[in-house]
Structure 1
């Protein structure tokens, strides 16, 4: 499966595990990398010293490439970037911010930089900033999302039409057929989040994992667009958000309701009522919790089978 993405990251398969907050620790990242994909540590839910610990443990658990996902809105951003460089991490995925901020600084230290976007406009800005590849993430993805509500399979061909660097598709991809479809539309690889939440190595709480595998079509919704659009499972907290919207709330009202550490409370600590439970629409197609290596193997096997089937049409 050699292509521009496998060569860029020196991996076996063009399959990247998303760096999801409260889900993507060293166990998951190393397991995906060992299976031939690219594992990412989710720095967005880690204090600087915790990230350093996860990088160290990941190095010991795999001799394969792995990376770190860094939300650019992170309060300790400069310290996080310094740790990544000091620890010799060679792949960084940036998101939720301006790619110009640290792209050249990272590249000067030999780091491959990828930026996550939700529109053609921001894909081109990322390319202009000098990133090595772009992740184009559709509106069906879990967690924080674009305001444009452009779906993955609409976004990918539009970005591909104008981009000159490798393109990675994200949002609504959880099996080999989805992987093939994204690549037929122009992606060079895929980034997968929700499927890896329901893995044995995910650091998510077991109660959250079980909720994910029991989710059905329509159980998630994008909301809080005035703050930072986020797709989450419908629960008591979600209903409180919807009730607040009926009062025409101010941004400050929404911030007050959201409070602090909602995502940690839900995904990491397992509070299924008051927590923020971020997951993609594809959760309706996820029915079990299994080892990350098995997920990678099954996706690649299904990808090859689907490609053979299409070639016979």
Structure 2
């Protein structure tokens, strides 16, 4: 039995990324209903909005779903309390110390998974008592690791040293990629960018279309002095690149970034001045389709790839 399927009681070992401005209750419930694990992205929600999304997700699916909680956001204590009050059974934490809430959540009967970008932090998460780890390579969109370790290198390094279930993330949008990382030791996958270009994602349609139109090289990791983030190259990105030629201070970068830049781009559809977070794998995403179809396509391709590999003579 696949450990991720049994841990979450799901049909397929596919977890939807809890992405800001994309992962509302519609996407989470659609993924869960299709046999994966849907996640509500709490990072872009005020506490009362998160509660509403959890309640609507419970109405929309009888299957397991979870909440992704970036630990660098304000109102963290209130968010955790709402998750407990609403009876959410699965929480993914990221961007912070896993020791902060892991024991508290597990004492409430909640399964806890922590997202990391390096072996060092994977071991810290395991020591904190999490039930599984997501190891995310630097191909991934949004906030990223400083070490720039790719998924292909990260997964076997983490697998070699941990004894709890491992979920691979970063650059995975196809069944063939899913097969590849599971061959390297992952027990399942977390998929972000591919689900941005889904019917149910709450991101703006203009942003979805820009993701579909993206080609190789259209994303870049930048703003390392603040928090490394991978985004599409638009006017805002070019403004950042221009500022770097002037040897900016951290304060200069913060002033340019301002507030609500990601919301402006991904949710409101400002493709020039917004921060458009997406992964390198956007170059392989060519259409917008229902989440259920995305999952079925991945599973079908996974099985076809497995058959090809079984027949490959070496």
Using the size of structure 1 for normalisation, the TM-score is 0.99
Can you list the C-alpha shifts for 1:22-74, whole angstroms capped at 9, x where unaligned?
A: 00000000000000000000000000000000000000000000000000111
SS in 2 for 1:89: coil
Shift of the alpha carbon at 1:235?
0.3
Shift of the alpha carbon at 1:178?
0.3
In 2, the alpha carbon distance for the partners of 1:153 and 1:6 equals 22
Residue in structure 2 matched with residue 204 of structure 1 by the alignment:
203
Residue in structure 2 matched with residue 87 of structure 1 by the alignment:
86
In 1, the alpha carbon distance for the partners of 2:310 and 2:76 equals 47
SS in 1 for 2:231: strand
Counterparts of 1:127-146 in structure 2 under 5 Å? 127-146=126-145
In 2, the alpha carbon distance for the partners of 1:32 and 1:300 equals 13
Residue in structure 1 matched with residue 125 of structure 2 by the alignment:
126
Shift of the alpha carbon at 1:108?
0.2
Can you list the C-alpha shifts for 1:242-287, whole angstroms capped at 9, x where unaligned?
A: 0000111110000000000000000000000000000000000000
In 1, the alpha carbon distance for the partners of 2:305 and 2:5 equals 20
Residue in structure 1 matched with residue 114 of structure 2 by the alignment:
115
Can you list the C-alpha shifts for 1:112-147, whole angstroms capped at 9, x where unaligned?
A: 000000000000000000000000000000000000
Residue in structure 2 matched with residue 261 of structure 1 by the alignment:
260
SS in 1 for 2:134: strand
Shift of the alpha carbon at 1:20?
0.1
Shift of the alpha carbon at 1:308?
1.0
Shift of the alpha carbon at 1:86?
0.2
In 2, the alpha carbon distance for the partners of 1:153 and 1:65 equals 29
Residue in structure 1 matched with residue 150 of structure 2 by the alignment:
151
Residue in structure 1 matched with residue 233 of structure 2 by the alignment:
234
In 2, the alpha carbon distance for the partners of 1:262 and 1:132 equals 33
In 2, the alpha carbon distance for the partners of 1:276 and 1:9 equals 33
Q: How many residue pairs end up in the alignment?
A: 312
Displaced runs of 4 or more, over 4 A: none
Residue in structure 2 matched with residue 167 of structure 1 by the alignment:
166
Residue in structure 2 matched with residue 20 of structure 1 by the alignment:
19
Shift of the alpha carbon at 1:110?
0.3
In 1, the alpha carbon distance for the partners of 2:179 and 2:21 equals 28
SS in 1 for 2:140: coil
Using the size of structure 2 for normalisation, the TM-score is 0.99
Residue in structure 2 matched with residue 289 of structure 1 by the alignment:
288
Shift of the alpha carbon at 1:151?
0.2
Shift of the alpha carbon at 1:198?
0.1
